[in-house]
Chains A and B, each alone.
Chain A
Amino acid sequence: MFFESAIIIASRSYIPFYFSKFEEGVDMKVKSYKKLAAISVIAGSVLFSSACSDANSTSGNKKSGDNNTISITYRDGGGTNKGLTDWLNKDVIPEFKKEHPKANIKLSPISASEGDYFAKVALMLKSGQSAPDIVTEDTFMVNSDASAGYLEPLDDKLKNWDEWSHYIENVKNGVKAQDGKIYGVPFNTDSRGLWYNKELFKKAGLSVPWEPKSWGDILTAARTIKKKSPGVIPMWMNSGKATGEATSMQTFEMLLYGTKDPLYDEEKQKWIVNSQGLLDTYSFIDTIYKEKLGPGLSQVLNGQGGTVAYTQLFPKGKIAIGLDGIWQAGNYRKDGPAPWPDAFKTLGYAAMPTQNGEGPGKTSMSGGWAFSIPKKSDNKDLSWEFIKFISTKENNLKLLLKENNLSPREDVSKEPEYLNLPMFKEASEFLENTHFRPSVDKYPSVSTVIQSTVEDVVTGKLSPKQAVEIYQKNVTRVVGEDKVIER
């Protein structure tokens, strides 16, 4: 909070100073003394009143400090995490209270865009005044926040918790920081693929079920759709800075990890900042927008773009292909934001092919969210009890049935109830060839470089080749020259 205000005040504070300085030259000293007094009284009182109101607002968020109260921070607003909120309120908190009658569990969600959420969480975790007792972290932030010293390592606690062995090994890596310690208990994971509208495909004479074998197949399908169904958006991918991590992961990395060059060389522990794969990835994105196979820029560069696409445009049959995650299926549930009973008669979910069909032929990216305990939480024991309680097989299953994400637990993934969820069989299969983002603490900064270069390619500001150059330059600046290689 303080840093934020330091920066903002610094950019504004010279206004009254200048005002007073200018007036000073005009008249006698007595007058300027009075002016100075007046200005300092006014400025002082304004500051004082704002300081007071600030104190009030933070104390509202603050937990009471007693041993039985814990607060949970997660992202909400605009339909986000509706399932999670519902699950906490209706399922797990009442059950937990039966076992711990004194416990008081407070929800303190943050309504923010995805990108802002992480900045807000980092600021909250910095101070003991505002740190919650449990925070939901996207696994790509776990390493970063752990390296910053914001999170509590859970290894000692996990040792005595036998349920931990039921977690998928791959997913566990997502919550491991560079120091080898575990900083969170995952509660969901996901996979990404190509959503497509079977009716539009049939209309365009394309075969259904669609099984693209290379990027070329995707482009061919998109071009055919464009020709046969004008007015339909052939291919939707998150492509702007406003969609944040979704642009990096659902679009850029889904493509890049289908080439031979990943983002990060795990062996040498260096970022690959110049490779054919990078160039091809930017070129693919460029082709989509240059040939007008994508949506209008004003639609897709908007922070709400993805939501509009999946809750409005897909149901209306306005999009043919969408590169996105399995959770989008949750939109169409009866209690979802855009109920659509026939959704899965119309929609198919195809695996993302590798660039030219190399290797396993398919690729995917996985992430997921975890419950972490902030280092500055003042009630870590009860927090851990709560996390253990909500992460059991039954409770985790209840959550995933509500929020349409994949389970990080092997035993949950075998439940028939879970496998019956639409597209979950397919999405679980994608997990076989999935990739995780590099767990290096600079990933979030690299990700923002990806987002801005992608947006620049999409808007035609940079050619794919220039985009690689800028990417190389900016990533090198962020991670340091000794941490990058070219391929």
Chain B
Amino acid sequence: MDANPVISTSTSVDSKSSLHKRKNKKLLSSLLFLLPSWILLLIFFIGPILLTFYFAFTNLSLTGSEAQATQFVGFSNFVNMFQDPNFRISVIKTILYLLFSAIIGQQVLGFILALLMKEKNPAFRRVIGIIVIAGWVTPEIVVAFCWVAFLNDSGTLNMILQHMGLKPVAWLFAFPMTSVIIANIWHGTAFSMLVFQAALDDVPKSIEEAAVVDGASRFQVLYRIVLPMIKGSVVTNMILVTLQTLGVFTLIYAMTGGGPGTSTQTLPIFMYNQAFVNYQLGYGTAISLILLLIGVLVSLLYLKSMKVKV
């Protein structure tokens, strides 16, 4: 936003001020053009966030007498939350879901795919890429239906099992968490793969070759040379994938509804249930704040851990 220091020191006083004027004019006009966006952002982005903060401290309700006379209740939503065994369950479920579907599943699988496809025949890359990306471009709700159709009592998987003479399993009830994790991996891996593909393509071949000449094994090249070089992409991807997974609602809700019992009740599902099934909007909002906090903390953690190593 400031004048470029290199230009300003090397020019005369006179042209400097005219440059300033021009810069200022440019700045003003840019701001003018940005104004509509910023107003919209303020209304639809910042506004709701501030409202969320406010509502989290009220007993706002969708129906019933509190809907009419909403009161400020201090921290009682948060006190209730931390005493609610369901909340603890949800946090654990969220962490499990995050760990296995985002960090381990999507990240690692995406990386392996990208690595295996590196410098392969372009036709091969394209075919595999399209197949993987098909999962990613499919809307979440469609992914959910596909997987329900596949894992259902009378679904595709059970049909195959029966043909093989095995007993059908009620997958969504016997292994609900595993089912939603696999569905999310299937859905999201392509994103990580694309990010890693781009990052890996940026690693100059000469460096790798030099390392090989120096006697590094393939694993050493990967671990000592390639990974540190794409660290930035790894962290960016980690943050994006984490935040995306943290907010997954549609997939889980459509596949299992958070059930059976509470076995797939991650925080977004818990929040929805409290806000729109139990009609306690204030409580639901408080949960969403915690969700936000977790997202921020985890992202900071990633950033910090990268900086320490650098």
Stretch at the interface among B36-44, B104-112, B185-193: B36-44
Chain A, 454-468, contact with B by CB distance < 8 Å: what is the 0/1 string?
A: 011001010000000
Report the bound CA distance from A248 to B263 in whole Å: 21
- Does A303 contact B257, Cβ atoms closer than 8 Å? yes
**Which 10 A-B residue pairings sit nearest by Cβ, starting from the closest?**
A44-B37, A148-B67, A6-B48, A10-B52, A147-B65, A298-B170, A149-B68, A441-B64, A459-B261, A298-B173
**Contacts of B41-85 to chain A: CB distance below 8 A:** 41, 44-45, 48-49, 51-52, 55, 60-68, 80, 83-85
8 A-B pairs with CB atoms under 8 Å apart are: A10-B49, A26-B232, A44-B38, A48-B40, A147-B63, A148-B64, A441-B64, A448-B278
Q: B279 to chain A: which residues have CB within 8 Å?
A: 119, 122, 144, 444-445
Q: B305 to chain A: which residues have CB within 8 Å?
A: none
Q: Is A5 an interface residue (CB 8 A)?
A: yes
- Does B268 contact A118, Cβ atoms closer than 8 Å? no
- Does B36 contact A44, Cβ atoms closer than 8 Å? yes
Q: A474 to chain B: which residues have CB within 8 Å?
A: 84
Stretch at the interface among A14-22, A349-357, A379-387, A390-398: A14-22
Q: Which of B172, B239, B247, B259 contacts A18 (CB 8 A)?
A: B239
Q: Is A344 an interface residue (CB 8 A)?
A: no
**Contacts of A246-271 to chain B: CB distance below 8 A:** none
Report the bound CA distance from A119 to B260 in whole Å: 22
Q: B170 to chain A: which residues have CB within 8 Å?
A: 296-298
B57 smallest CB distance to A (angstroms): 14
Given known A15-B243, A444-B63, contact A301–B260 (CB-CB < 8 A): yes
Chain B, 228-247, contact with A by CB distance < 8 Å: what is the 0/1 string?
A: 00001001100110011001
Q: Is A37 an interface residue (CB 8 A)?
A: yes
By beta carbon, the residue of chain A nearest B52 is A10
B65 smallest CB distance to A (angstroms): 4
Q: Which of B36, B41, B262, B289 contacts A456 (CB 8 A)?
A: B262
Q: A48 to chain B: which residues have CB within 8 Å?
A: 36, 40
Interface residues on chain A, size class:
35 or more
Interface of chain B, main secondary structure: helix
Chain B, 1-41, contact with A by CB distance < 8 Å: what is the 0/1 string?
A: 11010000000000000000000000000100010111011
B7 smallest CB distance to A (angstroms): 12
- Does A7 contact B261, Cβ atoms closer than 8 Å? no
B87 smallest CB distance to A (angstroms): 11
Q: Is A242 an interface residue (CB 8 A)?
A: yes
Interface size on B, residues (CB 8 A): 70
Q: Is A55 an interface residue (CB 8 A)?
A: no
Interface residues of B (CB under 8 A from A): 1-2, 4, 30, 34, 36-38, 40-41, 44-45, 48-49, 51-52, 55, 60-68, 80, 83-86, 153, 170, 172-173, 232, 235-236, 239-240, 243-244, 247, 257-263, 268, 271, 273, 275-281, 284-285, 288-289, 291-292, 295-296, 299, 303
Given known A3-B55, A3-B281, A30-B4, contact A22–B45 (CB-CB < 8 A): no
Q: Which of B41, B45, B257, B278 contacts A445 (CB 8 A)?
A: B278
Given known A44-B41, A148-B68, A297-B260, contact A14–B243 (CB-CB < 8 A): yes
Q: B291 to chain A: which residues have CB within 8 Å?
A: 11
Q: Is A12 an interface residue (CB 8 A)?
A: yes
- Does A461 contact B276, Cβ atoms closer than 8 Å? no
12 extra A-B contacts, CB within 8 A, seeds A7-B284, A9-B49, A26-B232: A10-B52, A11-B288, A11-B292, A30-B4, A119-B276, A141-B63, A148-B67, A240-B260, A241-B258, A448-B278, A459-B259, A470-B85
Report the bound CA distance from A448 to B36 in whole Å: 43
- Does B41 contact A298, Cβ atoms closer than 8 Å? no
Report the bound CA distance from A4 to B51 in whole Å: 11
Q: Which of B52, B63, B281 contacts A145 (CB 8 A)?
A: B63
By beta carbon, the residue of chain B nearest A29 is B1
